[in-house]
Amino acid sequence: MGMQTLEVPISGMDCAECTVPVREALASLPGVDQVEVFLASEKAIVRFDPQQVTLNDLRAAVAAAGYSIPNDPQPAEVTPGRIHPLEFSRRVLILLGVSFAMVLLAAIVGEGLGVFESITQRIPWPLGLALTLAFGWPVFVNVARAAWRRQIIAHTVMTLGVIAAAAIGEWITAALVVFFMRVGDYTERFTTNRARRAIKDLMALAPRTARVEREGREVEVSIAEVRHGETVVVRPGERIPVDGIVLEGRCAVETSAITGEAMPVDVGPGDRVFAAAIVQAGSMRIQVTHVGGETAFGRVVALVEQAEGHRAEVQRLADRFSGGYLPVVVGMAAATFLWRGDLLATAAVLVVACSCGFALATPIAMLASIGSAARRGLLIKGGRYLEALAQADVFLVDKTGTLTLGRPQITDVVALNGLSEAEVLSLAASVERYSEHPLARAVLEAARARGVDVEPASEFESAAGLGVQARVRGRIVKVGNARLLGQEMALGAEFESQGKTVLFVEVDGVVAGVLAATDVLRPEAAEALQMLRAMGFRTMELLTGDHEQAAAALASSLGVRYRARLLPAEKIEVVRAYQRQGHKVVMVGDGVNDAPALAQADAGIAMSGATDIAMEAGHVVLLRPDWRLVPQAVRLARRTMRVVRGNLLFTMIYNLVGLSLAALGYLPPIFAAALQSLPDVGILLNSSRLLRQE
Residue ranges of E strands in 49-116: none
For residue 408, give the nearest of 301, 302, 291, 500 by alpha carbon: 500
Instruction: Determine contact, residues 254/289, Cβ cutoff 8 Å.
Output: no
**Cβ-based neighbour number of residue 105 at 10 Å:** 11
**Set 398, 602, 612, 626: catalytic member:** 398
HSE, side-chain direction, 13 A CA sphere, residue 671 = 10
User: Is there a catalytic annotation at residue 393?
Assistant: no
DSSP H helices, 498-567, are 525-534, 548-558
Could you please report the per-residue DSSP string of 227-293? -TT-EEEE-TTPBP-SEEEEEE--EEEE-HHHH---S-EEE-TT-EE-TT-EEEE--EEEEEEE-GG
Going by C-beta distance under 8 Å and a sequence separation of 6 or more, which residues neighbour residue 321? Answer: 358, 361, 648, 652
d(CA 106, CA 279): 60
- Reported in sequence order, the residue ranges of 42-151 that DSSP labels E, i.e. its strands, are 43-48
Through-space distance between the first and last CA atoms of the chain, rounded to whole angstroms:
65
What is the b/e burial string over 537-555, where b = at least 16 CB atoms within 10 angstroms of the residue's CB? Answer: beebebbbbbeeebbbbbb
Residues whose CB is less than 8 angstroms from the CB of residue 452 and which lie 6 or more positions away in sequence, other chains included: 422, 425, 426, 429, 446
Which residues make Cβ contacts (< 8 Å) with residue 151, sequence separation at least 6? none
Question: Any bridge partners for residue 272, and if so which?
Answer: 245
Q: Give the length of the chain.
A: 694
β-partners of residue 43 are: 9, 38
What's the CA gap between 155 and 143, in Å, rounded? 6
Q: What is the CA radius of gyration of the chain?
A: 31
Measured CA to CA, the distance from residue 349 to residue 671 in angstroms comes to 11
Residues 6+ apart with CB under 8 A from 105: none
Q: How many CB atoms lie within 10 A of CB 396?
A: 26
Q: CA 165, CA 143: separation in Å to the nearest integer?
A: 17
* Residues 6 or more apart in contact with residue 596 via CB below 8 angstroms: 300, 303, 304, 307, 568, 569, 571, 572, 617
Burial 246-263 (b: 16+ CB within 10 A, else e): beebbbbbbbbbbbbbbb
CA-based max dimension of the chain: 109
What gap in Å lies between CA 550 and CA 88, rounded to an integer? 37
Contact 541/551 with Cβ under 8 angstroms? no
Bridge-based pairing of strands 251-254 and 265-267 is: antiparallel
Q: CA 489, CA 486: separation in Å to the nearest integer? A: 9
How far, CA to CA in Å, does 617 sit from each of 36, 309, 332, 419, 430?
Answer: 19, 13, 45, 51, 42
Inter-residue contact 194 to 138 (CB < 8 Å): no
Residue 407, Cβ density class (10 Å: 0-12 exposed, 13-18 middle, ≥19 buried): middle
| Residues labelled catalytic | 398
